Amino acid sequence: MTQPLPKWVMHRYSKLWASFGEKEFHRKDAFSRLNNDGMTNVILSNLKKACWLEVKLDPDDGRKRLYRLKNPDIAVIEISKEEEK
């Protein structure tokens, strides 16, 4: 289930969401959008662990990954449902 994000990760998620929305993207696209931030791999890892990011193999190149962000509206609803339990 989706978990709340630390502020520093949420800030970068917001930048990625503004660029890609729910479209798939590669790591190099995220790296470019985050202005070559050396923390891009850490950010993607944190987003994946918190279930804000879906990762799958690129069908054209199995060595690469495709990423898709979770819609923030859905994530917030999931977080609130989890907190109600």
Q: Helix (H, G, I), strand (E, B), or coil: what is residue 71?
A: coil
What percent of the chain is modeled with pLDDT above 70?
99
CATH tag for 7-84 (out of 1.10.10.10, 1.10.443.10, 1.10.10.60, 3.40.1160.10): 1.10.10.10
The predicted-structure confidence for 28-37, as pLDDT tens digits, reads as follows: 999 999 998 8
- 73 phi, psi to nearest 5 deg: -65, -45
Q: Which whole number is the average pLDDT over 10-20?
A: 97
Give domain limits for the chain. 7-84
Q: Helix (H, G, I), strand (E, B), or coil: what is residue 63?
A: strand
Q: What is the pTM of this model?
A: 0.90
